Structure 1
Amino acid sequence: LAGTVPLSGGAVLWDGADVTRVPAYERARRGMCLVPERQAVFGSLTVRENLELAARDPAVALDAYPQLRPLLQRRAGTLSGGEQRMLALSRALLARARVVLADEPAQGMSPAVAARTYELLGALDACVVVAEQRLPPALRGRPAIVYELRRGAVVFAGEAGELDG
């Protein structure tokens, strides 16, 4: 969807337009934000510099994840996995994207921070697409559409509350 990997088939339609061959940077300009599982931060930049890539004022991100405030001067590459996830998701919050694609957004986070992450994603005024191994507890019972895939085939499509464990 983000345009970082060529499709093996099908097409990507967005707002009625075929964007299959539109480069990733152009999709980002149109409001698509990708938070990949790996290499989601610029490791040689500080936390502050990473946040400033998305917005001049990082206040919204620091309010969302106050744990990042004391880390502003540290290089992002020195952060723990959970801290890097918070930083990457903070950039997505600052970007005011229309579509957020998040791969394993809570990976490496404590249960409390993971719950906060899903709360933040759920509050966005955007279409949020989450790729997870298991449906997070924070999404159960929420008005979310879930697709379960096995070996690339859809085996379930419906409300999150309808999905069995």
Structure 2
Amino acid sequence: MKKGIQYMKRAILFLLISSLALLCAVFDSVDNGVAKSISFIGGLLFFLFLLLGYFMFYRFSKFRKENTERAEKTNGKPGIIVFFSNSQAKKADIAMIISFVISIATLIMGQVNPALHANILFNLISVLSSAVLIFTIQMHAILNGVNYRYYLTLTESK
């Protein structure tokens, strides 16, 4: 059972690292070769950890299917269409909504006043809200899903 728990923990950790790698995009607006390299490496890390995270999530899903009855396999709606199913999911859903609003606001502000893109603080807020939005969308889908409900039963039985 501990092996299955580690799959879920690693999946969430890798998805967090993937989203944090987007912070390297702040350096994209700097006209420096080193800064451009950091931005490029951040993009590579984003996709690498995204793939690792979803691979670990796949392994957990496979673990769940191997260790549950056939009737349990078909229960539940996909996590992407369920909201506020547990306390962790409520936090992720609220953070997702807030980061969505901030991301849209920075997008509109950047379109209205293109000079804001020269401001490093504006770029940081814009990229950070996008990184949080990506992470919270993924957590919304995972924490409201069938696999996470199974994960909770594993951790409660410890």
> TM exceeds 0.5?
no
Q: Tell me: higher relative CO, structure 1 or 2? Use CA pairs within 8 A at least 6 residues apart.
A: 2
Q: Which TM-score band applies after superposition, normalised by the shorter structure?
A: under 0.3
* Bigger radius of gyration among the two: 2
